[in-house]
Amino acid sequence: ESDQLEMPDGTWLNKKHGFQIIATMNEVKEGYEGYELGEDFEDRFGAVLEIKELPVQEKLNFLQKICNDELPYSFLTRLIKLQTSINSEKTIWRKMSLRVLERIVENIVTHPEEPLSTIIHSEFMVGYWEEGHELVNSKVSYLVSEVGEHVLLSKNSTHTQSDTITPYYDKGHLISGHLSFPLLPQSNIKSNKPTINYFNKRTKTNDRSLHQTLLGIHLNRNVLLVGPQGCGKTWLAHSVFDLLDKNVEHMSLHESTTVHDLTVWQKTVRKKDDMFIELELSPLVRSAVEGRPCIIDDVNRAPPGVLAVLNHALQFREIILPQGIDTSNPNISSNSYKVTAKKGFQLIFTATIPEDTNQINPMMADFMDRMYCINMTYLPPSEEVEVMKRLIGIKELDHDCMHQLGTLVRLINQLREKCNDGKPTFRSTERITMNLKHFPDMDIRTLLNRELRLSSREDELDLNTNDLNELYMLRDVLETQYSKPCIKCTPLNEVVYRGYNLSLPVPENEIETYDPNRWWEAGKPTLYQSERARKRQRILQRLLETVTALDIPLHPWKKPRSNALDSSSKPSWGCTFAQDIPRIKNVFFSPWDLLYRDNDESIYGLLFHEIFEILYRNTTQFSTEFLSLPGSRILVNAIGDIWINQQGMAQFPGTCDWILALYEESFDSEKLVVEHDEYPHIQFITLLLYYWRFGAINRGISTDHFGTDVINAFNSLQDKIDQIISTQDEIELIELTKQLYYTPQFQQLIKRSLYLTIEDIHISPTTISEKDAIISMASTKLTDYERNTKLSTQPVNETGRQVTSEEFEELRNFILDAIKKSRIELERLDEDNEAKKRVDELKKAELEREERLLEGITEREQKEFQVRYERVMDHIKLMRDKFRQIYRHERGIWRRHLAQGRLDSTQLASLVAGNDRVFMKREQPERYMVRISLLIDQSASMQGDKIDHVSDAVLMLLSAIQSDQRKGVNVEVVGFHDDKPMEIYLKYGEHLTKKKIIKVVNEVSRTKGRNNDLQAIYYAFERIPKHDRRSLNLIIHFSDGDPNQQFDRDQFKDLVNKYSNIIVVGFGIGAQGTNFVLDLYPEDQATIAEETSEIPERLSSLIRRYVSST
């Protein structure tokens, strides 16, 4: 009625001639979310018209025009009868509009190959979860039975759509059934397009859903994908545009989304040193401006206002922007708030079925009328099994494995049918599959509990023991496919050379009960040991990633499949190689080391020992013939350990302490005896490693550990051993190793080991030939022992195949390059950090300079202050913490059961019962006051170090209370001398600033004439309330000796102890001050500092002692 419109900013806009409002509204009935208009509102309209449906004949005429008379008159008549029948049913919430009939007719004409039932259900979808679904299905089925699925095609036509519609590419086009989409030139495709491999999850059901989506796009319609949560709606939408090579925008809606969020988003922008909030276009508006599709997730969660904006965009292909947005997009006029969508703009919505808990708002019927709807469900079990098989990546699975996958899918489908909330989605199936693939050793029940909450749902399932057994068998099959561990060759310690087992020994009964998934419980650790081990594992993982710059996981040692607990199946450190290329797949550790080693550095040493094995061990320098000799392998391995450790510590100097700590803890006298220490040549090898670590063999070594003949042999060969340890040339090392092996002393030890082996065989030779045969047998047994239980000549991968020298060299070079790049990156980061640190220091210095200028502090004063502060800063923190203990005791207590005050929520039940004393009040204790008076002798005798260190002590005390002023600690600083009997440099309660502290310290540091101690103490008493009992009043009297000759000592002693609430402490400085204070003060009220440098520390201790006693 008004001639003006009020604008949001409060201004008024005059209506121009021609302004008019034409309003539309739906019938007020369920499904259309309308509201009845009030009579007062209707009265202001010039005319109110009721638009009714067209008569049947007019509908027929209209539809004949739409189809250009291509469809039979009889079919159009039946179609209108279908509409009338559906709209007359009260159980169907949605009405079939004329707009729906129009699109059904258009679709049949343009795509006669599509089944009629599919077209009708896509244009008029009533979901299977909705009331009336069966009724609509039966009516549509009856129509199809009368006219057939293909109205315009004869029954013998070859153009009908087949049941299988697999998308494929042909001559620059994407083909799906009869649909053909030309692809954009490759140069027009932007790099930010997501890549989704549709064909990994391609099934008949997915093909049909994909084809229907493509059909909706081909019809230039906006598409709605409706289905249960996690059935693949968003994945399918992205797959469509991935196949079409189109970029898309994507946004998700929720119950809190506003119209503003739908059109513009906030972003934080930094300009120079300021931060600003700016607005940018939302993905929806960007897609309209740039003419590209937009996927909008969870449209059913959007509130009605957002649906109204989307409905407007669907109907008029335009979006209204809020005022005030400043956009630099050239496609939007600076003075326009309306965005008209370009060609190519298309909306793909997804919605979760309303029976799911994700539904927030039911969608409006007129909104649904403008959508091409596709109903999606979970895949049939057979198709879900096929997809899982593809995800696993094994082309051929036997019948049993497919049956086990079917058991898993059956379990998931049971949960979908019987669980009311938290139904398993296809995403759950996918995650379970990928976990089985990448972590085949994971317990299957743990996996199902995590992904499906199986433990809380077992009552709802028909899950029996056989089902679980089948799932465990599935895990074993996948573990065999992906792990294939070799019993004796998986660990790097047994793949590459190793001379001495550095891991802690483990009892066999602990190995039998060991669970890798709970490795921190191996043995019987305490809670502290378990937590410490897990922390160590995290540190080792970070070390491994930092040094190698490779994403190599660190896993606990896993038991081999063999039940035999020989030395090759005992816990150790090492790594596994990948199957196809020489890359490290993972590094593993012995949990017992992380749990029970006391020294953290030895743990780090174990990790780097494994890295050095790969980088510096040469596996090809010794011939197979030499390594077949008894005792040769163990010698080569031990000397190789020394070589790799020395090379590694030279290249990684930071690991030196860790490697040495490892050997020191491993060679502890209680752990020194190794397995099979009855073999003398192995004792010699252990002694060799011990000597390399400690440089001597007399540190805890005795015949209790080694035989006398072993020690004698070692002593006689020490010169050659020193050469081996000191050489830096690998060729020379190899030659010296061979020379050591062939020495008579070492050969004698091998011979004794062979005789011990013969005794193990339990055969007594009678002839020379028998003796030779037995010695040969013993030699083979000893060599096999070294080969099988200690080492292999070549590394192998996880399938058991030996890695060639070329492959191993490639692996070594790969890791060396990664380490080199990591070092460069770390150095760059160090340089960046140093540069940043320098910049920060400069900024800090500049800020401090500006603060000094504001406070009036000169640079000289700042330097002097900094020197003093650094001398006493440790005592400042101690004193500050002690003072703050006083502050914490002043929080007060609550008094309850009062007649007034704050309502006590814990007593509400008493209020209902009629008790009115339900209030409480905080009772604040009287603040405890600490007063400290520093009386400082400034006579000439205090000149020099004495007064300088007293000044330090003053700075210390004032700095300790500066940040906590007004909290109960007050300090005064008073100087006394003959020029003025008393000079107060700082009064009680005076505000402390840095400038004030500097001024007080400068005043204290001056000395003048003589002094009068008695007068100074007298006036200090006068400044303290005499009857203040809730306070600590402490006067500290600094003096370095006798004052003037008129000093009355008895009068002084009486004055010191005159008031019980005031404590006076004498602080004697130097020898004379010590005598003076001890003469005038009781022993418990005297503090002395014969050395002037002790003054700050003694004052700190003195104050903290008295404050603690309060």
454 and 471 Cβ atoms separated by less than 8 Å: no
Integer angstrom CA distances of residue 658 from 303, 596, 602, 604: 62, 17, 5, 6
681 and 631 Cβ atoms separated by less than 8 Å: yes
Q: 575 and 636: one domain?
A: yes
d(CA 990, CA 1102) in angstroms, rounded, equals: 23
972 and 933 Cβ atoms separated by less than 8 Å: yes
Asked if residue 835 belongs to a domain, the reply is no
Task: Please name which of 614, 626, 612, 625 lies closest in space to residue 734, comparing C-alpha atoms.
Answer: 626
Give the CATH number for residue 254: 3.40.50.300
User: Can you say whether the dihedral through the CA atoms of 35, 38, 43, 49 is positive or negative?
Assistant: positive
d(CA 48, CA 24) in angstroms, rounded, equals: 10
Per the structure, the count of domains in the chain is 5
**910 backbone dihedrals φ, ψ, rounded to 5°:** -65, -35
Q: 501 and 476: one domain?
A: no
- H or E segment and range at residue 903: strand 902-903
Q: 368 and 406: one domain?
A: no
User: Can you say whether the dihedral through the CA atoms of 762, 763, 768, 774 is positive or negative?
Assistant: negative
950 and 1095 Cβ atoms separated by less than 8 Å: yes
What's the DSSP call for residue 276? Answer: E
**176 backbone dihedrals φ, ψ, rounded to 5°:** -140, 105
Q: Residue with structure tokens 């700050």?
A: 1096
Asked if residue 140 belongs to a domain, the reply is no
Asked if residue 152 belongs to a domain, the reply is no
Asked if residue 6 belongs to a domain, the reply is no
Q: 871 and 916: one domain?
A: no
d(CA 53, CA 97) in angstroms, rounded, equals: 9
Q: 513 and 477: one domain?
A: no
- The two tokens of residue 783 are 């060599």
934 and 904 Cβ atoms separated by less than 8 Å: no
Q: How many residues does the chain have?
A: 1110
Q: Which of 327, 350, 377 is the last residue of a domain?
A: 377
Q: 435 and 312: one domain?
A: no
Asked if residue 547 belongs to a domain, the reply is yes
Given this model, what pLDDT does residue 439 score? 64
Q: Residue with structure tokens 């335009």?
A: 318
What's the DSSP call for residue 490? Answer: S
Give the CATH number for residue 1019: 3.40.50.410
* Torsion of the alpha carbons at 1034, 1040, 1046 and 1047, rounded to the nearest 10: 30
Which residues are CB-neighbours of 739 under 8 A, at least 6 positions away?
720
Q: 244 and 296: one domain?
A: yes
662 and 609 Cβ atoms separated by less than 8 Å: yes
Which residues are CB-neighbours of 167 under 8 A, at least 6 positions away?
174, 175, 176, 198, 207, 210, 211, 214, 243
- H or E segment and range at residue 403: helix 399-418
666 and 601 Cβ atoms separated by less than 8 Å: no
In terms of DSSP H, where are the helices of 202-320?
A: 204-218, 233-243, 259-263, 283-290, 304-316
* Torsion of the alpha carbons at 464, 467, 469 and 474, rounded to the nearest 10: -160
Q: 901 and 950: one domain?
A: no
- H or E segment and range at residue 693: helix 680-694
Task: Please name which of 728, 704, 701 lies closest in space to residue 715, comparing C-alpha atoms.
Answer: 701
**Can you say how many angstroms the Cα of residue 1010 is from the centroid of all Cα atoms in its chain?**
70
d(CA 1001, CA 1005) in angstroms, rounded, equals: 6
* Amino acid code (one letter) for 943: Q
* Amino acid code (one letter) for 594: L
d(CA 211, CA 227) in angstroms, rounded, equals: 16
1071 and 928 Cβ atoms separated by less than 8 Å: no
Asked if residue 39 belongs to a domain, the reply is no
Q: 764 and 867: one domain?
A: no
Order of strands, sheet of 983-986, starting from the edge strand that comes earlier in the sequence: 983-986, 969-976, 929-937, 1031-1039, 1062-1069, 1086-1089
Order of strands, sheet of 574-577, starting from the edge strand that comes earlier in the sequence: 554-556, 584-589, 574-577
d(CA 222, CA 313) in angstroms, rounded, equals: 10
Q: Which of 461, 482, 503 is the last residue of a domain?
A: 482
Cβ neighbour number for residue 756 with a 10 Å cutoff: 15
- H or E segment and range at residue 585: strand 584-589
Q: Which of 871, 905, 923 is the last residue of a domain?
A: 923
The boundaries of the domain holding residue 979 are: 862-882+926-1108
Integer angstrom CA distances of residue 404 from 400, 424, 458, 477: 6, 18, 19, 10
Asked if residue 409 belongs to a domain, the reply is yes
Q: 903 and 936: one domain?
A: no
User: Can you say whether the dihedral through the CA atoms of 516, 519, 521, 523 is positive or negative?
Assistant: positive
Integer angstrom CA distances of residue 339 from 8, 240, 291, 304, 334: 21, 26, 11, 21, 11
d(CA 165, CA 178) in angstroms, rounded, equals: 9
pTM beyond 0.75, yes or no = no
Cβ neighbour number for residue 25 with a 10 Å cutoff: 10
Given this model, what pLDDT does residue 694 score? 79
Given this model, what pLDDT does residue 53 score? 83
Q: 781 and 916: one domain?
A: no
- H or E segment and range at residue 650: helix 632-651
Cβ neighbour number for residue 1084 with a 10 Å cutoff: 8
Low-confidence stretches of the chain (pLDDT beneath 50): 31, 156, 158, 187-194, 356-360, 481-500, 562-568, 669, 671-677, 700, 702-703, 761-763, 765-768, 770-771, 787-794, 1045
Given this model, what pLDDT does residue 643 score? 87
d(CA 390, CA 402) in angstroms, rounded, equals: 12
- The two tokens of residue 583 are 């890359």
Q: What is the number of alpha carbons within 13 Å of residue 584 lying toward its C-beta?
A: 31
Asked if residue 142 belongs to a domain, the reply is no
Integer angstrom CA distances of residue 263 from 284, 306, 318, 323: 7, 10, 11, 11
* Amino acid code (one letter) for 66: I
Q: 990 and 1073: one domain?
A: yes
